[in-house]
């Protein structure tokens, strides 16, 4: 299965090094993946990307060479997506494996989000990845091989309070990837969704807030209990998790190397558990059961409503 079994076809030279493009390499899972590809997988050529403001972090940790390229990419910017893919096509022929990893997560109830916040969430986690996919597919289709690996989340199978927009973006990614799986099957292009649940990492600190959900503002008002309970709850679950960004990155490498990976790949124990909970619990009791597990949920908002 080295390095990507489809390359063992007789018409492809054994020395061919598939090109892997990873988004969001400045931190977390993307950075771990870049390190693994750089240090342990010389059988691939790598395009490690990060936003202009974070690109120096990559130059500080990696040396560019004939198999490792660092390139700026803000996934929300069409011009940057176009320039990057044109550059890779010109330099190395095309992208064989695309890992859509870059992502952000808003912590906000729906009422506190603005249209601009919603758009940024969707542009980063859904519209940007779709734009990149559209640019790499022609080469993959023509060559009759390739892999699209989208980093999704448990939030793409179950939604939680204060994470609606993040969940919506991951549900969108999941739905589109499922369609793409069918559309690409005749062309030999494989599509997978990596689904991490809680990961023990510092990415919790990178959470985005809308103006109204900002901790500086939300310590009073009808939703303060939601934030005051959900924020430490999520932080605790992440701290307790036995999964790390490194483990998720290793799973992505395994997916790259697997000949026919599944569309859905749960990446943490809780992801597997939530998958079965979603499928096995009768619909009528699914939400009440999960609600019961949320910290103090039955008291949320009590001081701010006349409902008794
Ligand atoms: N960690 C978890 O618990 C967890 C759980 C489930 C799913 N996931 C998913 O896993 C993926 C990676 O998350 P992570 O935990 O590694 O998060 P992270 O540590 O916050 O890293 C996110 C990366 O995405 C980049 N990014 C954000 N907006 C971008 C944009 N517009 N263009 C290009 N890059 C951008 C960030 O770059 P900057 O440094 O420039 O901001 C950073 O490198 C995400 O898709 C996330 O939704 C994570």
pLDDT tens sequence across 19-68: 999 999 999 999 999 999 999 999 999 999 999 999 999 999 999 999 99
Mean pLDDT of the chain: 94
The predicted-structure confidence for 54-88, as pLDDT tens digits, reads as follows 999 999 999 999 999 999 999 999 999 999 999 99
Task: Transcribe 66-101 into DSSP letters.
Answer: TTEEEEE--TT-HHHHHHHHHHHHHHHS--SEEEE-
CB of 156 sitting under 6 A from ligand 1: no
CB of 148 sitting under 6 A from ligand 1: no
CB atoms within 10 A of CB 179: 10
CB of 26 sitting under 6 A from ligand 1: yes
Which residues, including other chains, have CB under 8 Å from residue 281's CB and lie 6 or more apart? Answer: 289
CA of 27 to the centre of ligand 1 (A): 7
DSSP 189: E
Atom 37 of ligand 1, nearest CA residue: 24
- Percent of the chain exceeding pLDDT 70 equals 95
Confidence of residue 1 (pLDDT cuts 50, 70, 90): very low
Q: For 125-132, what is the mean pLDDT? A: 99
Query: Structurally, what CATH architecture does the domain formed by 5-304 represent?
Result: 3-Layer(aba) Sandwich (3.40)
Q: Where do the DSSP E strands lie in 235-276?
A: 264-266
On the CB side of 291, CA atoms within 13 Å amount to 9
Identify which of 29, 53, 174 to mutate to test ligand 1's pocket (most ligand atoms within 8 A of the CB). 29
Q: What angle do CA 104, 106, 109 make, to 5 degrees?
A: 160
Q: Are 153 and 196 in contact (CB under 8 A)?
A: yes
CA of 124 to the centre of ligand 1 (A): 9
Identify which of 26, 28, 159 to mutate to test ligand 1's pocket (most ligand atoms within 8 A of the CB). 28
Q: Are 20 and 100 in contact (CB under 8 A)?
A: no
Based on its alpha-carbon atoms, the radius of gyration of the chain, rounded to whole angstroms, reads: 20
CA of 100 to the centre of ligand 1 (A): 10
Helix axes 164-184, 128-143, angle to 10 degrees: 10
Q: Are 148 and 191 in contact (CB under 8 A)?
A: yes
CA of 104 to the centre of ligand 1 (A): 5
Q: Are 155 and 230 in contact (CB under 8 A)?
A: no
Q: What pairs with residue 22 in β-bridges?
A: 48, 99
Active site amino acids: 166
Specify the pLDDT at position 8.
Answer: 47
Distances (CA, A) of 66 to 42, 46, 89, 92, 126: 11, 9, 15, 10, 31
Query: CA-CA distance, 145 to 216, in Å (whole number)?
Result: 50
Distances (CA, A) of 133 to 37, 84, 158, 259: 21, 13, 25, 20
């Amino acid at each position: 299965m080295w390095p990507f079994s489809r390359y063992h076809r007789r018409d492809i030279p054994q020395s061919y090094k598939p090109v892997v493009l990873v988004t969001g390499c400045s931190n977390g899972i993307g950075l771990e993946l870049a390190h693994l590809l750089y240090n342990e997988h010389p059988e691939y050529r790598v395009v490690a990307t990060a936003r202009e403001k974070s690109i120096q972090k990559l130059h500080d940790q990696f040396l560019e060479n004939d198999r490792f390229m660092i390139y700026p990419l803000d996934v929300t910017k069409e011009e940057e997506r176009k320039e990057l893919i044109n550059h890779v096509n010109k330099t190395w022929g095309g992208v064989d494996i695309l890992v859509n990893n870059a992502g952000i997560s808003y912590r906000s109830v729906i009422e506190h989000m603005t249209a601009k916040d919603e758009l940024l969430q969707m542009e980063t986690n859904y519209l940007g990845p779709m734009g990149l996919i559209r640019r790499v597919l022609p080469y993959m289709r023509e060559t009759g091989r390739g892999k699209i690996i989208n980093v999704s989340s448990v939030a793409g199978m179950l939604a939680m309070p204060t994470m609606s927009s993040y969940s919506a973006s991951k549900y969108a990614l999941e739905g589109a990837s499922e369609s793409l799986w069918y559309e690409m099957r005749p062309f030999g292009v494989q599509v997978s969704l990596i689904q991490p649940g809680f990961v023990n990492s510092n990415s919790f600190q990178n959470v985005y807030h809308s103006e109204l959900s900002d901790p500086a503002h939300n310590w009073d008002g009808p939703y303060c209990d939601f934030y005051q309970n959900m924020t430490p709850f999520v932080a605790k679950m992440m701290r307790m998790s036995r999964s790390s960004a490194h483990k998720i990155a290793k799973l992505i490498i395994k997916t790259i190397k697997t000949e026919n990976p599944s569309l859905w790949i749960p990446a943490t124990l809780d992801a597997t558990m939530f998958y079965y909970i979603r499928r096995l619990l009768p619909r009528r009791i699914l939400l009440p059961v999960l609600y019961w597990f949320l910290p103090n949920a039955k008291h949320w908002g009590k001081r701010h409503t006349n409902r008794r």
